[in-house]
Amino acid sequence: MPTVWGQLRRTLIDVSTNAGSASSDLLVVGGGAIGLAIAWEAARNGRSVRICDPDPGHGASWVAAGMLAPINEAHFGEDDRLPVALAALNSWKSFAAEVTQATGQPIGLREEGSIVVAYDTDDRVATDRMRLFHASLGLTATELTIAECRKLEPWLSPDIAGGTLVEGDLSVNNRALVEALLRANELCGVEFDRRHVSAIQLDTTGARARGVIFDDGDHANADVVVLAAGTWSALVQGLPAQVVPPVHPRKGQILRLRATAEQPQPLTRSLIALVQGSNVYLVPRSNGELVIGATQEDRGFHTSVTAGGIWELLRDARLVIPAIGEMEIGEMAAGLRPATPDNAAIVGRTEIDGLLIATGHGRNGILFTPLTAQIINDLIEGRAPIAQA
Ligand SMILES: Cc1cc2nc3c(=O)[nH]c(=O)nc-3n(C[C@H](O)[C@H](O)[C@H](O)COP(=O)(O)OP(=O)(O)OC[C@H]3O[C@@H](n4cnc5c(N)ncnc54)[C@H](O)[C@@H]3O)c2cc1C
């Protein structure tokens, strides 16, 4: 069966001992942030690489907000995942620098940290409890009074109940990221095959991944195949039943507002708010865009944008930053996170020889992009693993 983060160590050990066979050409099925980063890393390692995806870069990775905030993602009962999440965060600065150096394209990495705000006193009880939990894990998050919050972010409503500063959090412009990764892959000679998904069938003849067979009879062979088709990973044709990953779509609706001459960008850092029990986040970009997200809905593969979903986001965001009411709406969109039953990503080797998998990153796929690329390439190359969960 595929491996989850919690079982990563065992998987990495398994693969290192068999890594001799995992060499030469690589085929990546799915060119979202995860697949693109895996492909680029392999190409930089001297591998010849092909990506099969009808529309690379335009799945969940295009819709996302680009928050890189593992501390706020550390929930009660999931603290065993924190070291991997922090390793993911730590890999970001050098990764961003390398992507920009390779392409000349900045990807909007921001290092101002994030501020967590409680709207009312009940919300404050919940955020205080979370801060104490984080402190018990050795994480640094600083309690802020209302005045301190507003000193850092003057557009915050005076009605908030308090906040927390998380200095290590980052954010990235995920659209600039996928555009730069597409370019980086092209510059390294990675080939793209944009045939429709219905034309793509995995070839696992003899219980070994051999590549992909297309509906016109073409065959793309590879020594190693990586399945990285996000929430569609379970639907790829030809996938043997025993390795179908337990991923399902978790819809997220999201808004992009634009600063105007009358209303400048109201935030300098990411804002995560708990508003009468519901979560909303606002991520500023230096180009004046403010990303507000996101709903979490289990509704199959539908990506409709609904009045109710957008209203809830605007309602909560406006309670904490009233000035957003004066900004222009740039875009309303919905994307599908690759969710798993236990919220853990599925990264590693499968029972099919030569078939690796990298999916199920849920709400944190942008955060995990560099680390996942590194781990998968460690598996391919038989190197000592970068991450030991
Ligand atoms: C609203 C929203 C907000 C989010 N915000 C954040 C955030 O702030 N921070 C964060 O870290 N994460 C965030 N995420 C999660 C993150 O976007 C995902 O976890 C991540 O993008 C998953 O990347 P991926 O490459 O696995 O999938 P995707 O980006 O979805 O890419 C999958 C690719 O597979 C292709 N494909 C599908 N079927 C096939 C097939 N049969 N053959 C070949 N190719 C195929 C698709 O065309 C697509 O390009 C957010 C997600 C959403 C929806």
Q: Nearest residue CA, atom 35 of ligand 1?
A: 30
Can you tell me whether residue 288 is helix, strand or coil?
coil
With a 6 Å cutoff on the Cβ, whether 22 touches ligand 1 is no
Q: How far is the CA of 231 from the centre of ligand 1 (A)?
A: 7
Whole-angstrom distance, CA of residue 205 vs CA of residue 347: 23
Residue type, 350: T
- Cβ atoms within 10 Å of 295's Cβ, excluding its own: 21
Whole-angstrom distance, CA of residue 74 vs CA of residue 80: 9
Q: How far is the CA of 23 from the centre of ligand 1 (A)?
A: 27
What pLDDT, on a 0 to 100 scale, did the predictor assign at position 21? 28
What pLDDT, on a 0 to 100 scale, did the predictor assign at position 388? 43
Residue type, 129: R
What pLDDT, on a 0 to 100 scale, did the predictor assign at position 181? 98
**Reported pTM:** 0.93
The series of mean pLDDT values per 10 residues for the chain, 389 residues long, is 38 32 69 98 96 96 96 69 89 98 98 95 92 79 94 97 93 98 97 89 92 88 96 96 96 97 95 96 97 96 97 98 97 98 93 96 97 96 65
DSSP bridge pairs for 255: 292, 332
With a 6 Å cutoff on the Cβ, whether 338 touches ligand 1 is yes
With a 6 Å cutoff on the Cβ, whether 28 touches ligand 1 is no
What pLDDT, on a 0 to 100 scale, did the predictor assign at position 71? 75
What pLDDT, on a 0 to 100 scale, did the predictor assign at position 183? 98
* Environment class of 318 (CB within 10 Å of its CB; exposed 0-12, middle 13-18, buried 19+): middle
Q: How far is the CA of 219 from the centre of ligand 1 (A)?
A: 26
Rounded to an integer, what is the distance from CA 222 to the centroid of its chain?
26
Domains by residue range for the chain, with CATH: 5-81+174-246+341-381 (3.50.50.60), 114-167+248-339 (3.30.9.10)
Q: How far is the CA of 162 from the centre of ligand 1 (A)?
A: 33
